[in-house]
Each structure stands twice: as C-alpha cells, then as structure tokens.
Chains A and B, each alone.
Chain A
Amino acid sequence: MDSSTQIAPAAANRAHNQRHAVSLLDSERWLGPLLIGPAILYIVLLVGVPFFMALYYSVSDTTTGGGTQGFVGLRNFTGVVGTPKFQTALKNTFTFALISQAVILLLSNTLALALQKDFRGKRLIRFLILLPWVAPISIGTIAWLWIFDSTYSVLNWTLRMAGLIQGQGYMWLGVPHLAMGSIIAVHVWRQLPLATVILLGGLGSIPKDIHDAAAVDGAGFWRHYFQVTLPLILPISLVAILFGLIFTFTDMVIIYNLTRGGPYDTTQVLASLAFYTGIAGGDLAEGAAIALFLFPLLLAVAFGFLRVARRTEVI
C-alpha cells in the first residue's frame, strides 16, 4: 500500500473531526449548556441533594443508627423549639451574627477608605489584610485558641506587660460574655478581608469627578462620606452584608474549634447545635430541623436585600 492512501483517510478523518468540534463549540445551543453543565452538576450533587435530604430528614425520624425513615410531620420542629437549649442557641445566633456584622461593617468601611488613599507600603498592607481570608480557617482558629489559652494566653501576657491587668488574667473562652466576645472577635478577623475587598471594589467604581465635585461643592469629610460616597456604595455594601450575614448564620467552624458551644452553651449557635444534635448526638432528624429552622428567614433576608440593592443601583 502506498503511503499517500494511508494518510489520506486519516487526514480526512481529522478534518472531519475538526469540523465537527468547531461546529459543536460554535453553536450556542451546545456551547452554553456544555459550559454551565459542570457547575449545575456540582450544585445539584453537593448542594441540592443534601438540601433536599435535610428537608426530608427534618420531617422524619431518621437517626445515624439507620433505623426507620418514617414521616413524622413537624414533630421535630415543635419538639425542639420549646427547649431552653434551642432558645439559647437562637438568641446566641442573633447576638453573634448581628454584632459581628455591625463591627465588620464599621471596620471594613474604615479600612476600605484608608486603603483607597495612596501611601507607601499600601500593597503590603492590602496583602496582609487579605491573609486571614486566604489562610485555612481551622489553622487560623487554632492560633486563636492559643492566643485565648487560659494559661499561656499571649493576650493576657500583653495586657499584663502593658500594666493593664494584674495576676492571672482573663479566661477568655471560659467566661460566658468573654467567650462570646472572643468568638465575635475571631469571626470579625476572618470576615473583614472579604468585606473590605468588596467595599474597595465599590469605592473604586465611583468616578473621581464625583469626589472632585463634592470637594469643590464644599462638602467636608462627613458630608462627603455620608451623602455621596456611602449612598453610591450602598448596593454593593448590601451584597457584602448579605453574604456576611448568611455566612455567619450558617457557619460553626470558629465555635467548633474555640468553645464547642461552651461555657454552658453560651456560645452555642443553631449551626453548632444542629451539628451536635444531628451528627455527634445521632439524632439526624432533629439536627436537620434545627439547621433548617432559619432557612425561611434567611431566604426572606436574601430576597429583600437583593431587591433593595437593585433598586438603589444608580450608575
């Protein structure tokens, strides 16, 4: 057989394949679904399926021991809502989420405003501020565990050296109010970078002329900030707050690593209570009910925020 006849069909085949590949990728009918497919698959398998399983668990009598999966209606919800444990956790959840978000909002605004200015070492400081967000949260909280340690606390040592306290110092994670304060502080430390970066993005999108106009029009710092800058970054701030709130309402890593909900459940939030009830305690059904308790509220909050954000969008 001569070589040209061997090559010819292969080349024709390749050309045919190429034509086929090109036409497939060029067609919007195929390209769109092809590109979004993996994301949808991911969401369905890792978010959708567990979510619907949790929905079902919450109205069943499932336990980790297997057993039955019988339908029990809203019994799990009605049973747990009245317990002191649940009510404490509910109250703690709101204390934790609202206070930390308020602090984050205040600090991220201040930081973003400061980082907008030009100064030496700005890039380094931006990098440092982003670190808590980039570092694995469990490693970060373990460092905090040491900072708050009852015996070796560097915080106590620093306060002692500064002459602010005497003697042993505070049991940061062992006293109810201090423990709540500590986990709020760590949560703020962790969420601040993202909020700051989002706000920096918002600030950067305001045309410089607007700031110049405000300066020429005679606005001082506060008027400039509250009447010009803040309203213009409001839509993006709302998105940042929404993310922060939902994340705070549903996260338990910091509490799990620092206090395990203690002392005396004073830092127990719904997310951690759901974990301890459902996974550690084995009562999957009640755990699911606790986890889903805030779902309607968060859904409403998300809906409301996104609506307001869209309405206040101005540019």
Chain B
Amino acid sequence: MATVETRGIKKYYGDVVAVNGIDLLTKDGEFLVLLGPSGCGKSTLLRMIAGLEIPSAGDLLINGEVVNDLPPRARKIAMVFQSYALYPHMSVFKNIAFPLKAQRVEKPAIPKKVEWAAALFGIGHLLHRKPRELSGGERQRVALARALVREPAVFLLDEPLSNLDAQLRASARDELEQFQRRIGTTTIYVTHDQVEAMGLGDRIVVMKAGTVRQIGTPKEIYHEPADTFVARFVGSPPMNLVKREDYILGFRPEHFFPKGTQDGAAKVATFSFRVTRVEYLGADRLLYGTLGGAFADQKVIARLPSTVTVSIEPETIYDFTVEERELKFFEPSTEVRIASRPL
C-alpha cells in the first residue's frame, strides 16, 4: 500500500520541455491512468516515478518520502513495459524469479513465489518456455507476473496492452482491472487510448504538452471536461465544438437528437442540422453534417442509438435538439470551461 506524489515535477531534454511542472497525488490502492496523445510527457512522467529518468526540477514522493535520489531498485516499484522487456535468454520461470533473486529473497522461497505469481495469471504451464516461444498475450502475462511477484508498493504500467490485438486487448483489460482490484496495489497506468483509460481508471489524468489538463473520475472527465482539449480527446466521436464570437459551445454526439425523439420535460435547445452523410454502424447511426442559424456551416456529428428509428436522409435539413444541461461552454481564447449561459 502506498501513495505516489509529484510536486512541481519537470523534465527538460536540452531546450525541449517534456514534463512541465506536474502536481499529482494518488490515493492508496488507486488505479490512476495517465492519458494523452503521444509526446505529451506521460511516459516520461512514469519513467521519472520509476527512477529511470531523473527529474530536472521538483520532488517525487513515495509514501510521503522524497525518493528523487533513490535508484529504481530502492523504490519498491514494479514496472511493465510496452514491449514487455522480458529477458529473452531466460525461461519464463527465470524471468519471474529475476526480481526475487535481485532482492536476495531466500533461495528455497523463490519457486513457491514464482508459482504463485504464475498461477495468478494462468501461466503455470509455460514456466519452462523461452519468451520467443510465447504468444503476445502470454508474454504480457509473464511481464505482469514478473512485476507482481515481489509484491511491490506501486505498480507502473506503460501501455501494456498496445501490442495486443483488439479482441485480446478487451479481455486483457478486463483481467487487469479485476486483478488490480484483488491485490489493491496502487497502480499508475499510461495509455493514449481513451477507451482503456475510461474503462480502467479510478481517476484519469489528462495530459497535453507536458502539463496536466484535468484530473478526475472517468465520469467527470467525460461529462465535465475542463477545456476543449479534454472534450475533444475523450469520447469517440469527440464532443462537437462550435464557435460563436464570445463562446465555444460543446455537446456530445450522443446527446444530439432529432426533435421530438427525446421524451421528458427537460429543457432543450434546438438547432437546424443539415445532414450530409449517414453511417450505419449497427448499434448506432452516425450522422455527419453542418449546423444552420447562428452556427452556420460548422461541422457536427450526431450519434443515434438504434432505438431511434426516425428515418434520416442525406442532404436534408432537420431540427435537432440537445438537452440544455448537456450543453458545455468554453472561453474562446483560453478554451477553458466556463459557466453555462443562454445561447
């Protein structure tokens, strides 16, 4: 059990700023996801926590103790790499036993621990194999078992699912989530995949260009984005953002309905929507088009669930509505969220 804290942590490479002053505090046993596009500094931040990079400024605390000067091996952390970084010349058993030997665990205790970790991930039958004889999913489990075996205080995962195919990724995500709940070790997980972040994280840290844009639960991140970057980055298709002189208006595609198809007494805003293209995706229909009126010619997307059966034809103008409480407003220059206001 442990907490990780960063205080104004920075990392420069020459003139390039990779991480620019980040303050973070994990809760004990939390699953924290660092989410952002490639090059946003999330991996650098994780590597600083691991001790593989030395911060240019700021402090890093594990369990309230400054660990800036501690080498990785003294930090009680374990890390799973995107490439898994299994030792190619060692069998699965030796891979998993390696951190134990490095920590001078008593010899007789090692096989038992290795078998325990291997059993946790269902790889007990692979112990004598070499990494090159394993499938991608099996390698990932070996990497997890190797990280887990010495019962670290903090688990660091750097895009561990990105080398798996889509189907395997979904099941691996599920297993990872269950396993983290079970062992309850504080986990920091780096990904650029917002679906992974939403599905796994207790809280998500959205990063861009070395800074934190928002920290919050998946719900907060999705429904109350702090700025237009978060609004656009999370959600697929992303939030519709349309401009007027004094504000940017945002609403999610799944809140944009043909007029009259939403029941209830909630107040709605009405837009005229010229549909240019319709995509059938089975469970959903995506409607691409432009708004009229005050938002003339600005592109938006509507996502209608298959339960909305109204017929929609391309090159036709319809009235669409959004519940007023689903409208988000952003300041046009800073793109930061502002209070709701009349349209």
Residues in A lying within 8 Å of B, measured CB to CB? 207, 209-210, 212-220, 223, 227-228, 231-232, 312, 314-315
Contact = CB atoms under 8 A, between A and B. Distances in A.
9 contacts: A212-B79, A213-B79, A213-B85, A213-B86, A215-B71, A218-B72, A218-B99, A218-B150, A315-B88
Contacts of B89: 231-232, 312, 314
B52 A314 contact: no
B81 A213 contact: yes
A220 B102 contact: yes
B7 interface: no
Interface string B32-52: 000000000000000100111
Given A216-B78, A218-B99, A207 B73 contact: no
Q: Is the interface of A mostly helix, strand, loop or mixed?
A: helix
A215 B73 contact: yes
Given A218-B73, A231-B89, A232-B89, A212 B132 contact: no
Contact of A232 (B79, B88, B98): B88
A210 B87 contact: yes
A234 to B, nearest CB: 8
Given A218-B99, A232-B88, 9 more contacts: A207-B85, A212-B85, A215-B52, A215-B71, A218-B150, A219-B102, A220-B102, A228-B87, A231-B89
Contacts, number: 67
Interface residues of B, number: 28
Contact of A215 (B72, B82, B87, B146): B72
Nearest to A228: B87
Contacts of B71: 215
Given A207-B83, A216-B77, A223 B102 contact: yes
A162 B83 CA distance: 54
Contacts of B99: 217-218
Given A215-B52, A215-B73, A314 B88 contact: yes
B98 A209 contact: no
A232 B89 CA distance: 7
B73 A216 contact: yes
List 4 tightest A-B contacts by C-beta distance, closest first: A209-B85, A218-B102, A218-B73, A213-B85
Interface in B44-65: 47, 50-52
Contacts of A312: 89
B77 to A, nearest CB: 7
A312 B87 CA distance: 13
A223 B87 CA distance: 13
Contact of B73 (A210, A219, A314): A219
A223 B78 CA distance: 18
B334 interface: no
Contacts of A218: 72-73, 99, 102-103, 150
Contacts of A315: 88, 132
A232 B73 CA distance: 22
B169 interface: no
Given A209-B81, A213-B81, A314-B132, A219 B98 contact: yes
Interface string B154-187: 0000000000000000000000000000000000
B130 interface: yes
Given A216-B73, A220-B73, A314-B89, A227 B98 contact: yes
Contacts of A220: 73, 102
A207 B131 CA distance: 15
B132 A216 contact: no
Contacts of B132: 314-315
A212 B78 CA distance: 11
A228 B101 CA distance: 13
Interface in B188-213: none
Interface string B5-28: 000000000000000000000000
A209 B83 contact: yes
A119 to B, nearest CB: 16
